[in-house]
Amino acid sequence: MTAETELEREPEVERSGDATVWHAVDLEEVTDELETSSDGLSRDEAAARLETYGPNEIEEQEGTSPLWILVEQYSSALIWILIVAAGVMAAVGHTIDAAVIAGIVVFITIFGFIQDYRAEQSIQALREMSTTYALVRRDGEKREIDARKLVPGDVIFVESGDIVPGDARLVEESNLQVDEAALTGESVGVSKEVGVHERETSLAERKNMLYKDTVVQRGSGSAVVVETGAGSEIGQIATALEEAEDRDTPFQTELDRLGKLIAVGVVAVVGIIAIAELVIGDTPPLQVFLTAVGIAVSAVPEGLPAVVTLSLALGARRMAEKNALVRRLPIVEALGSVDVICTDKTGTLTEEEMTVQRIGANREVYRVTGTGYDTEGEFLRDDDPIETERVEELHRCGMLCNNVDIGTRERDDRDADGGGTERGEDAGDAPTDDEERTYLGDPTEIALFVAAQKAGFDHDELDEAYPRIGEVEFTSDRKRMTTVHRTPDDGTIAYMKGAPETVLERCDRELVDGEVVDLGEERATELNEQVESFAEEALRVMGFAYRPDPPEPYDESVESDMVFLGLQGMLDPPRPEVPGAIEACLAAGINVVMITGDNAVTARAIGEEIGLRSATVVTGPELEEMSDEELADRVEDVDIFARTSPDHKTRILQTLQAKGHTVAMTGDGVNDAPAVKNADVGIAMGIRGTDVTEQASDIVLLDDNFATIRDAVEGGRRIFDNVRKFVNYLLSGNSGEVTMIFTGSMVGLGLVITPIQILWINVVTDGIPALTMGVDPASDDIMERKPRPPEEGVITKRIVTSIVGIALFMTVCLLPIFTLNFYGEVIPGYDLTGALLGWSPAYEPSRALAQTMVFTGFVAMEIVRIQAIRHRYGLGLFTNRWLVLAIGVAVTLQLLVLYTATGQLLFAVEPLGLVHWIQIGIAASVFAVLMGLFVKVQDRYFERY
């Protein structure tokens, strides 16, 4: 067949050769489909296929340029309102006002740019994971090539330490084990074997497949490449990640909507005033322009972007102190509405440190205390400690028939207690200040090693007393490992560990309390039942045996006539703080769903131990058989999904979101990146997570601990409460200003407060206290509330009534003060107050004085407004010392404006006397009474939060 004819068949390969099929067909069919053989491809054929399939790499997606991010800052309607206002002020000669407004625009733009500027490095990180070279067979010869030139049909060779260059079907293997953690999220290496699997076999269980960018831990093998580049499993994840849209948080959406509403409102109010003044009345056009600008400036909450950004940043800083690093500031408030947390098992709910928990020896069962790699622990029978001599030989076998070593690694501040770190003492050179002791080896063997240390064994001393002189290595076919050692009395001894059934088959005797007794069929049956009992507790069980003075040669022939020592059952235990965190989440109305690649038995056992609601389990194959409608019907009742693939995780997420849930999704491996990015709150693991997942996430857990998620949710709720408080505070102030200006214009009073005075209030005297509200403490019942509904935004019906009520009350209280100080009378023609207060000739009524009174009155009423808003959260004025300080600063700055020449010139104000402060005090007191009554009415008709 010619190369051209072969290439005509390539589309058939692509259609039938997707990642769900290659593992489920005979190897011969794979090679036929790919038009290849054990000799590999020819150079010409490989070159032709490279043209067809493209290079074995993931295409880079261009990120958003800084210039475009800057341009996007001007897409807000609020910004353009201020820009137009500045232009109008400049056109009519009010250059100082125009300059101040322009400065505010620049300030808001810079804040927005800093907030939005973050590099999307996900695709670049995936590219960096690609290998540089691959060992292939072409034209019947092995050769090393640039891995980017690898094509489907190539025959590759891998060995320990290699990174797999492409998705491939295994042809031959020798004790091959691959670390697929980056792809599946599971830390335990996968033993590979040649064979055929069922079509529905999950990704984590496809032992006949190798996947691009996974790492060979031991052994060697050859395989035929079936997918490269974007077609590989990791390439499909990259494509999904590229297609995933950046989701605006509810708060971002609401702020955008609020901006548009304010813009429409400004246009409407200005239109009404223009018609009233220019058509009906006789107000000069310049005064109408100034009133319009005043309305526009007063309607825009200039301080809101800065306050929001700083509040979120402070909240993010507090969360970082609790090991939750926030990558996207707006996501912080979204945490408050999370009602489902989908979490990994390994390392998040569990220690990620296999621990021996049960021992079967001496025809008894013992419980082992201690968790993880802590070498402190006891062996208990019926809660009573036993002498370690009773299990001495079992643990000697566990430590000697073991390839774990103790080394050092660079210290990581995020992982002070991380997996693999030795917490006991052992011989060896002391690590440096930048290093720490660590166990090097397979997690299962580390668990056996630590159990032996609990029994009092010292690694170096035991190795010296029992030097290894032979080994029959473990393979996936043999399911066992045997080592031969010289004994202290110059004899020899063979130790075996492996799958219990494999070990028992080679034993005819058993060690019971130091005596060797016969191992009959009845006893073997009892041991098998004990193995099953351990397995039902989700323990991974291994059997142990020995043979004294085994004959040479030290090969498989020594693995017979052995003495059975016992069983050790191990489990990756839950973190001790997780059950409490789960309980707190459930009490807060947040459901917790475990999604794991582990088997159903282990997942259910962990689920029951940590306190999931019902520990209902659905496996990956069962999930694939469900229609979307069936999954939607069941998803809210399922707490555990086991044996899942990356596609399963994304499907579960999307189903929950479609049912109206706000979902936080954790992930660590590359496979998790699409689900993490598509989640409402994406959470990556900082210790064992990949760069790709971290860059796709919103939050990174620096300690990989589920309890940190609980703390982050609590922090998110606190931040949202604070955001809601200062939004209420700022918008009520803006509404009061708009209402005051609009009312004054409609009743013929003209401009009751100038634009520059409004800017001062919005940015300084209101803005500074609002900033400190961002550090308000959490209310006592913050984690006793149910999550807020996704459709409920920052601004609720209660807050709307609060904004309207405050605006009306401020107008009612301040408008009489304006007329009194403008006309000398509260009601022109009726001198009810001027004589009563005894006007001094030094304080003649004037528009400047009246505007100064309104200007200062707004500032004075901020204290009343703040406490009226904070009251329903159970917070007193002095619960936040920064707020008290901010109010003091705001009042001081206002006094400087009133009583310094520069302030009087810049803001067109007049100094106030005692009589004026009495008026303001009366107005503020009336406002406080009105607000107190109004809050009681709100409490009757609206929920507290």
Q: Active-site residues: which are they?
A: 344
Helix (H) or strand (E) holding 673: helix 673-678
Residues 6+ apart with CB under 8 A from 264: none
CA angle 19, 21, 22 (to 5 degrees): 75
Contact between 233 and 214 under an 8 Å Cβ cutoff? The reply is: no
Cα 635 from Cα 661, distance rounded (Å): 11
Cα 671 from Cα 648, distance rounded (Å): 11
First to last CA, the chain: 75
Contact between 334 and 697 under an 8 Å Cβ cutoff? The reply is: no
Nearest to 462 by CA among 434, 444, 487, 482: 487
Contact between 238 and 58 under an 8 Å Cβ cutoff? The reply is: yes
Burial call 291-303: b when 16+ CB within 10 Å, e when fewer: bbbbbbbbbbbbb
Cα 110 from Cα 101, distance rounded (Å): 14
Contact between 924 and 857 under an 8 Å Cβ cutoff? The reply is: yes
HSE-CB of 281 using CA atoms within 13 angstroms = 18
Max CA pair span of the chain: 123
Amino acid sitting at position 793 = G
Cα 661 from Cα 654, distance rounded (Å): 10
Cα 621 from Cα 624, distance rounded (Å): 5
* β-pair type (379-381, 364-368): antiparallel
The tokens for 811 are 């107008």
Dihedral sign computed on CA atoms, order 871, 876, 880, 886: positive
Q: Three-state DSSP class for 509?
A: strand
Amino acid sitting at position 294 = G
Q: Three-state DSSP class for 909?
A: coil
User: Cα-Cα-Cα-Cα dihedral of 31, 35, 41, 43, to 10°?
Assistant: -160
H-type helices in 92-154, by residue range? 95-116, 122-128
Nearest to 147 by CA among 166, 161, 174: 166
Cα 46 from Cα 123, distance rounded (Å): 26
Q: Three-state DSSP class for 468?
A: strand
* β-pair type (405-410, 384-385): unpaired
